[in-house]
């Protein structure tokens, strides 16, 4: 195993990203690469656990909702069996509530970040000196996608298309799940859509997701009106 780093800059640090959504991994990887990190990827919790058991990373940024093994289960396992210096574990979630944050910190995460990941959030969280290479300043009014694309119209269009396709794919998955009664899978799908909505900062999408969440809380999932998913898809396609 490589020895852990002891400095306070993320440039050159070895960072593992664990997320089962391709688009989120892509966005997070681009953010971290701009910060100078050496980025590695895990496609789910099982993959992340295997990588952590064989390699040392300085920082691990992990989605807490992943199939088979959740981020919480991975961190529990590593902390229970590790015999070496551990990385900083950062929980990443679209479901940012005080209760969820407290749960993550209690089981062994060092920090908690609401999706989407951004250089500013990491800077505030870890106290790192962030060096980024972008002509587009990341402000409250400037989307993360524009920032990553350096405000280049072609690059922005490519990222927007990739984001739109991820939305549509997950909406289709949610529509299928809503025909059944697997509430855990339904909530996991909604969680993924919340993460994508955070990138877009789209109020209408947030409202529609809220209505879907409310409907499956008070009625069986199969009774959730499919029209809400259709409205989401139409809104994404027209955006």
Residue 138 has pLDDT above 70, yes or no: no
State the pLDDT at residue 209.
Answer: 86
Q: Place domain 14-133 in its CATH homologous superfamily.
A: Response regulator (3.40.50.2300)
40/32 Cα distance (integer angstroms): 10
CA atoms of 103 and 97, how far apart (whole Å): 10
Q: How far is CA 180 from CA 6, 8, 16, 173, 217, in A?
A: 50, 48, 34, 12, 14
Rounded Cα gap, residues 11 and 8, in angstroms: 9
Instruction: Give the model confidence (pLDDT) of 139-161 as tens digits.
Output: 333 467 777 887 788 888 888 88
| 63-84 per-position pLDDT tens digit | 998 888 999 999 999 999 877 7
Model pTM greater than 0.95?
A: no
CB 50 within 8 Å of CB 21: no
Element of type H or E holding 174: helix 153-177
161-200 tens-digit pLDDT: 888 899 999 999 998 888 888 888 888 888 888 888 877 7
Q: Cα angle at 90 between 85 and 92, to 5 degrees?
A: 155
């Amino acid at each position: 195993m490589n020895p852990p780093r002891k400095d306070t800059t993320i440039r050159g640090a070895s960072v593992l990203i664990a997320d089962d959504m391709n688009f989120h991994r892509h966005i997070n990887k681009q953010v971290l690469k701009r910060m100078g990190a050496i980025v590695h990827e895990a496609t789910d919790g099982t993959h992340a656990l295997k990588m952590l058991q064989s390699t040392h990373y300085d920082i691990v940024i992990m989605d807490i909702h992943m199939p088979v093994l959740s981020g919480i289960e991975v961190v529990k396992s590593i902390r229970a069996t590790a015999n070496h210096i551990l990385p900083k574990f950062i929980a990443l979630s679209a479901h940012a509530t005080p209760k969820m944050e407290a749960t993550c910190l209690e089981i062994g995460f060092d920090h908690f970040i609401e999706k989407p990941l951004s250089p500013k959030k990491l800077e505030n969280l870890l106290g790192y000196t962030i060096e980024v290479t972008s002509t587009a300043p990341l402000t409250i009014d400037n989307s993360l996608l524009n920032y990553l694309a350096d405000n280049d119209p072609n690059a922005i269009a490519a990222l927007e298309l990739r984001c739109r396709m991820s939305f549509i794919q997950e909406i289709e998955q949610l529509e299928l799940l809503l025909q059944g009664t697997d509430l855990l899978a339904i909530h996991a799908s909604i969680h993924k859509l919340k993460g994508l909505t955070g990138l877009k900062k789209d109020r209408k999408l947030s409202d529609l997701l809220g209505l879907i969440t409310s409907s499956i809380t008070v009625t069986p999932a199969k009774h959730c009106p499919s029209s809400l998913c259709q409205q989401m898809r139409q809104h994404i396609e027209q955006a």
